[in-house]
Amino acid sequence: MPIFLLHAPDGFFSTPVAITFWVLTAAALALSLRRAGATLDERAVPLMGVMAAFIFAAQMFNFQIPGGTSGHLLGGVLAAILLGPYAGTVVMACVISVQALIFQDGGLLALGANIFNMGIVGTFGGYWLYRTLAAVLGGEQRSRLPAAAIAAWSAVVAASALTAVQLAVSDTTSLSVALGAMVGWHIFIGVGEAVITVGALAFIAASRADLLRLRDSRPATTWEPAR
Amino acid sequence: MTSDSAPQSPLRRYRWAIIGLVITAFVVIIFAPLASSDPDGLDRVSEDKGFSGQGKDAPYEFLPGYSIPGIDNERATVILAGLAGVAVVFALTTAFGAYLRQSRRGSQT
């Protein structure tokens, strides 16, 4: 058993499921590339690189959860909180692609689904939840960390549920079995995601709070949560 | 004395990015070798539910399993592969970001 096998290999998802999620990922990535370019602050460029490097490194650290299972950071919510959903999506796509292409972690046909589940669910869905929660809880300045914690946990659980659906549609296993098992473990793994996301944000807030405003540093960067 | 508007050396201006990369390197050097060897969430489910065998091997191998072929020391091979990955991911993503920003400015002027 390899120690570091993190992402779905080819064969877990059927070809139609894999292709469907390649198409969805390609569409989200195309949108992100267009929008990210329009709103990137000069300092956001190296921040994209540093975030991608950090998320790659953190994903190598599988933390122990009870019951003989481990989990690792996904990082989509963290990337989107710092960089916005579009640049955050580009970051996640770079990380997960390098893992597949250079480290043989995650299949090439499954890469679309892997980027969608571990990246886009967090950078779009998780980020939307973060903005909504932050607004409800009295503004991002005040409630950044609790909103980030809930969004990070939710993104992991949602990603695991989506993976279960993909496995079931692929006829790899039944939906009830996959859903119970995947969500059951990821309820705990999501706690690790929340801890690392909050820790990184708290560290940046304490040391370089100005980087937390990079996302909105250009007037064009007004991404409103859907109402 | 230098004011805020005076041009700074890139090294000073992007000191935070360098510190971020140093922290990242520490994550690889200190935490990656301590990673749990238990299967992760999806892996565990695939073993419990009997479909882990459906996973296909990659059509080629470059640095499989976050190790460098030929380096047998378990710590060293993981750390070196991790640092190589960090360098590649940082360079690729920064280049991508710079290109995106450049193409936007080009199309506006």
Query: Both tokens of residue A54?
Result: 């950090």
Residue A170, domain member (yes or no): yes
Closest CA to A28 of A99, A134, A118: A118
Question: pLDDT band at A204, cuts 50/70/90?
Answer: very high
pLDDT for the residue numbered A222 = 43
pLDDT for the residue numbered B82 = 96
Rounded distance, CA A169 to CA A226, Å?
29
Which residues in chain A have Cβ-Cβ distances shorter than 8 Å to B27? 54, 57-58, 60-61
pLDDT for the residue numbered B4 = 52
Question: pLDDT band at B6, cuts 50/70/90?
Answer: low
Q: Which domain holds residue A140?
A: 15-216
Length of chain B counted residue by residue: 109
Closest CA to A217 of A40, A89, A77: A40
What ipTM was reported for this prediction? 0.91
Residue A3 contacts B where some CB pair is shorter than 8 Å: yes
Which residues in chain A have Cβ-Cβ distances shorter than 8 Å to B87? 53
CATH of the domain at A61: 1.10.1760.20
Residue A8, domain member (yes or no): no
pTM value surpassing 0.95: no
How many structural domains is chain A composed of? 1
